[in-house]
Every structure is written in C-alpha cells, then in structure tokens.
C-alpha cells in the first residue's frame, strides 16, 4: 500500500511540474512501437513500426494547437492526425525522407532491374513524394510513395537489391542534399555507396577495404559526408573523390558502441563549420568539428543511469535552432537536453538542462524500469520543440520551457 502511494505521488508531482515546464505536450499511441521519426514537412512526420509482424507506416500531422500562439485564441485541433498510411510486411529500422517535395521518376529500367514489381512497366513516369527504408536485417532499400492530395495510401514502389558484406546488420541511410534524388548507404565503412534512385546506378563507392561496422552516416555538404563507425572512429569522405577517405580514430575512448549527431550549416559553403557529437555506450559525449576531429572541443560524462543493456536505441542530436544544445536518448525512459556551452576539453560530469520524463508515465503510473525511449528528433525550426517515441508505442511532441528565460 505504501509503495503504491509513493508511485501515485511521483506521478502527481510530475503532472503538476509538467504544467510549468512545458508550453505544449501531446501524445499519440501507435499499434507497434517505432524507432524512426522523420520530418516530411514543417508540420508532418513519418513513423513506422519495427515489430517482426506486419507494421504500419504512417504520415502524421502534428496537433495544430502546437503551432497556435496563445494570443490567437483557442484551437480545436489538439490531436495527431493520420494523413497518409500503409503497411510494411516487415520491420522498419531506418527511414529517410528524400528532400524535395515531389519529383518525377522516369525509368522503365528501374522497374525491371530493381524488382519494383508493384509498378506497371507500361508507365514510364511516376510522381513521388518518397521515403527510403531498410528493415535492419539485410541490405535492400525499399522506396515508398507517401501519397498526395488525391491519395491517402502509402505504397511501396520499389526495392533496390544491394550487396553488402554485413547485410544481416541492415544499412544506414543518408539522403543526398543536392542534385537528383539519391541516397548514401552502407552497413560497414567499406561498402558505403551513393545510389541514384531514378536508375539504381551507383554514383560513388568506397575505394578502401575497411570492415568496421557503420553506426551513423550524414552529408555535411553537397558532396562531403561523415561516417561514424561503431568503435567511435570518424571518417570524412567526398563523393567526388572515392580514394580521398580520411580516418580519424576515436583514440581509445571509453565505450564499446558509438553513434554521432551532426549540426550542419547548409547556408555555408565550408563543411568545417559543422559540429560533431559522438555518444558512447558509456554515456560520454565528445564534441569536435571537421577542422580537427581527433581533438575534442569539449566532452562530458552524462548524468544517466542505464536501464537497458541494448545499444540499439542510442541517439544524440543537435538542436537546429538553438546554439550549443543537444539531446540524448536510448538509455532509459528519458530524453535529456544538455547545454554544451559550459563543457570543457577535460572529461567532467554535467547535469542536463532539461529532462523529458513523459514516457515513464503509463496508465497514471510512474514506470522507471521498462520504459526506454527509442528515438527523438528536434523540430527543424521551432527552437524547443522535440518529438520522441518509446517501446510502449507512445509518440510525444513537447515544447519545453527554458527556465532561465521564463524567470526573466
């Protein structure tokens, strides 16, 4: 009885606190949990399940209340809305939206050569607003049409059957930033490849045999990309120069698994202006930039108590519209936000600026044991708006309050 009362008190305390620390917080419940949240516009996201059975792939419209200023009166739209939806026969571990709202695919050869058996070869062009996915167990990439105003169904329109030395680990995907629709992908450093979606042709492939498993992949400019190996090594590549790969070893840093988050300034022609944060399974973050990836600008031991032994959900991301802020999740049921402005080159422990505990609230109970956040993303332009998901199928969108600003 005493234990139940204590749990209820914790929930009540959090609920009262949430009225002060959030401008907005909304929840959506999925049939199966997701480990992917991808922006398809300023107000819509794409999510998909990762269970072994049939999974939904959905495009959701965020609650419009989130985008209504307090002085604009009441807004009736307070819930997520499904705007497009479909099903995947397998799990989806990686999902990336291809930049550009719509484009034409003109390729009968693409239909025949890459097993896009769902399409009719009598049609020579297809208008798509698409995402590319991988199931986490092989190297194939699935291409999906998200639909449009005249169709609310998400359909798989193609499969790129690719060869990989570590295909049972799945592949990481990074959409191209310039030119025609293309994706950079790979399961280990040596098989990173840039593939054109309209034809399936390889535009770039790695010129070195490096078997290190890949954990993260991202473009920092139209041609320069960063790859983070699971052992923490960083590689800088350029799709214009297959032989020019640069290796930056992690230097014996603590942690058996690493991933990275990159903050880029796409308005700058100099890729070295980007910041790189590497997160380790030992709950350490190392921040550096492209001018010298071997020497950290700053680093921190995070104030995190791991609730899971899996590294599958580890994630670190930079706030695109806030200076020096990054978010970390995947160790427990929380998303933690840190301000790196006070971090130093020497390793020290730092407290988070903000903690989202909402995923630990289940059926009016406080669950600290089984709740684990599977992914999170920042809104591309709203400074303190974050989306997160957890193993119970919950998806939250929350706009947190900066206590320093609020107290002024």
- Averaged over 226-236, what is the pLDDT? 94
Q: Is 234 helix (H, G, I), strand (E, B) or coil?
A: strand
Q: Is 404 helix (H, G, I), strand (E, B) or coil?
A: helix
Higher pLDDT, 284 or 362: 284
Write out pLDDT tens, residues 82-94.
Answer: 999 999 999 999 9
Query: Virtual CA dihedral for 204, 211, 251, 224, nearest 10 degrees?
Result: 10
**CB contact at 8 A, 249 and 233:** yes
Q: How confident is the model at residue 305 (pLDDT cuts 50, 70, 90)?
A: confident
**CB contact at 8 A, 122 and 158:** no
Q: How confident is the model at residue 306 (pLDDT cuts 50, 70, 90)?
A: confident
Higher pLDDT, 162 or 108: 162
Higher pLDDT, 44 or 242: 44
CA distance 186 to 8: 47
Write out pLDDT tens, residues 14-41.
Answer: 778 888 899 999 999 999 999 999 999 9
Q: Which residue is it, tokens 């802020």?
A: 325
* Host H or E run for residue 9: helix 2-21
Residue 47 has pLDDT above 70, yes or no: yes
- Average pLDDT over the chain reads 84
| Through-space distance between the first and last CA atoms of the chain, rounded to whole angstroms | 43
Residue 363 has pLDDT above 60, yes or no: no
Pairing of strands 193-196, 141-145: unpaired
């Amino acid at each position: 009885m005493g234990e139940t009362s204590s749990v209820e008190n914790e929930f009540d305390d959090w609920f009262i606190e949430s009225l002060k620390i959030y401008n907005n917080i909304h929840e959506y419940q999925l049939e199966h949990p997701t480990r992917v949240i991808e922006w398809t516009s300023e107000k819509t996201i794409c999510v998909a399940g990762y269970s072994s059975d049939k999974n939904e792939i959905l495009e959701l419209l965020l609650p419009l209340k989130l985008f209504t200023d307090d002085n604009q009166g009441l807004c009736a739209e307070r819930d997520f809305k499904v705007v497009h939806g479909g099903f995947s026969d397998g799990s989806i571990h990686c999902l990336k939206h291809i930049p550009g709202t719509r484009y034409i695919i003109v390729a009968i050869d693409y239909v025949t050569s890459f097993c896009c058996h769902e399409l009719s070869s009598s049609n020579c062009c297809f208008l798509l607003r698409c995402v590319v996915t991988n199931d986490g167990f092989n190297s194939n990439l699935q291409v999906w049409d998200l639909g449009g105003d005249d169709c609310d169904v998400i359909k798989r329109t193609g499969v790129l059957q690719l060869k990989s030395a570590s295909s049972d680990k799945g592949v990481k995907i990074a959409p191209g930033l310039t030119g025609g629709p293309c994706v950079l992908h790979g399961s280990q450093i040596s098989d990173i490849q840039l593939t054109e979606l309209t034809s399936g042709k390889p535009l770039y492939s790695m010129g070195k045999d490096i078997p290190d498993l890949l954990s993260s992949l991202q473009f920092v400019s139209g041609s320069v990309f960063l790859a983070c190996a699971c052992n923490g090594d960083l590689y800088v590549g350029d799709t214009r120069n297959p032989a020019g790969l640069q290796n930056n070893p992690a230097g014996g840093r603590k942690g058996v698994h690493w991933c990275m988050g990159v903050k880029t300034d796409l308005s700058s022609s100099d890729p070295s202006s980007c910041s790189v944060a590497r997160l380790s399974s030992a709950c350490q973050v190392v921040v550096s930039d492209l001018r010298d990836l071997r020497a950290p600008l700053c680093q921190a031991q995070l104030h995190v108590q791991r609730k899971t032994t899996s590294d599958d959900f580890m994630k670190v991301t930079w706030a695109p519209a806030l200076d020096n802020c990054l978010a970390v999740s995947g160790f427990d049921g929380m998303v933690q936000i840190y301000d790196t402005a006070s971090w130093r080159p020497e390793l020290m422990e730092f407290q988070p600026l903000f903690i989202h505990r909402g995923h630990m609230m289940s059926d009016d109970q406080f669950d600290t044991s089984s709740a684990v956040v599977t992914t999170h993303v920042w809104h591309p332009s709203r400074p303190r708006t974050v989306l997160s998901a957890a193993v119970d199928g919950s998806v939250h969108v929350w706009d947190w309050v900066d206590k320093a600003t609020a107290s002024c």
